[in-house]
Structure 1
């Protein structure tokens, strides 16, 4: 597989999770309960933790949310990024206990307000994420450039300068649009212009089907170009699915292998076995495996041996029988009913799980 050279970026630390530099690409999500609803928000954070998330973001809309987040932080298994819009005093207050703050410096008031947030974050070495969205650009950039990648990049550079002018450089940046071309163009254009780590995402991407496709195209494409240090797959009303899709993008792009890569053939008229039932059993058995493995489950001999050569473990079905192949070597020829049980036993042995 071709090696992907990531852009060199500064590294920040969000509650022990390193972002940028040579750190792994972290996966994050956002709770959708009201943050002042402590039990509901903690329940969602715990679901994200067990799904494999590295970070979580929580919205802060009012003072009740501040107090709720203060209690949530004490029990959260994940580092927390507070999401703030417009009210700088909320950012100053939550900076006392969260792990990072997400703002747009340009929409929280004048330089005094920005300095207050910078001072509060700097006191605890908290990073600030600048979140640029095509749907909420500052008026001066939208008027000049419309809702375009150019406007998004200009907004990002403007907001970066507001922090840099105060000597603050623990920054991450996101440039999100609701469509793939705009999102990719904005990230590509900004990448050579600054050294800060990027948070990747397609905003307002929709429900699971379309959001997964949009995110795979945009985030996967950018990652293959070496762009991106942390990411969120945004899916309406979902939590675990966001993490699942994000990890699949990292896995299938080859950027950050983790878990099992399953190779299985499309069904066709050459099948002489129940491949669909077999692959369901195999996929279920792979769900908890974290060791990077390539496995192949093929329904006929035409492509099976070729795929098996590059797999850690493979099944090649025939007519009423088949072969188990391990690292390119045939280790068993069995009747069809015996193939999947033997395959799963071998899989357990090589995965160590």
Structure 2
């Protein structure tokens, strides 16, 4: 099912019998998801499952909803800020839907790692379902602070700081847990956060932003930081980069990310006119085939003189699949912290201060 159809059904925008039936089934399943979530968390609370600490501070970058909140560009920005503070960050991630690798001796990377490798080229990044092992490997790589990508629900690795990202375009996942909505946890889970980051604040009104903050304040009074994602240029599948000023109104746009609407709004602001003919959405973390690109190429030839535009997450997966005569460009963006950059750094610094460890003789 098309991701846009899923959103229309969950949001209630679709009112047909099929949509009503799916919502009813999802509503029936929602309490079972909540039961499983509570059981999982209670196993850690009562000590039946262990939490593990590592020898350096750990910062989790996560969210309460499925789909994209802009964690990748925000993580890249945070890496730069930590480096400016004299730290050596490393990134630990699960590696969800990693791409297949022709090298049997290498660990396949997913799209997020490929993008972060481009945006943070000297920052070690380990992908492993076992985030504790990933963190320990990063320490061997000389990292002195670990960033856990998508770590808010990962309880096994202890963390010093929990940062929670909220997407301003769809902040609370239709106010339902999976599968009826997009929430991984109830909103009262915000109580665990040390700082809230509201992303894409440029895509909503000030009244809407105030409404989001009012809802957040029902659960926590930790600092709130505002972030938007600024376009910086275009990069094509051959690695060539041009400035953002060279935007064209004619293109076929596509993506397979968690929040396609945020990407669409960004393109619209650049003057791209999108409709059902030149806007195509694939599932999040979609593994593109040659047939996918051939079909996209045909649409691009028909409607946009052979020009495709997409996200960097998508481009890194399809560079070798672009047909001849087609130009495919990714929109390059960076996270801009509108307010609270100092608060962000101070919050992390205040939480990562640890007492020096004693050796076997009791010496520090």
User: So what's the TM-score if we normalise by structure 1?
Assistant: 0.28
Structure with the larger RCO, 1 or 2 (CA within 8 Å, 6+ apart): 2
User: So what's the TM-score if we normalise by structure 2?
Assistant: 0.27
For the pair shown, which has the larger CA radius of gyration, 1 or 2? 1
Structure having the higher helix fraction is: 1
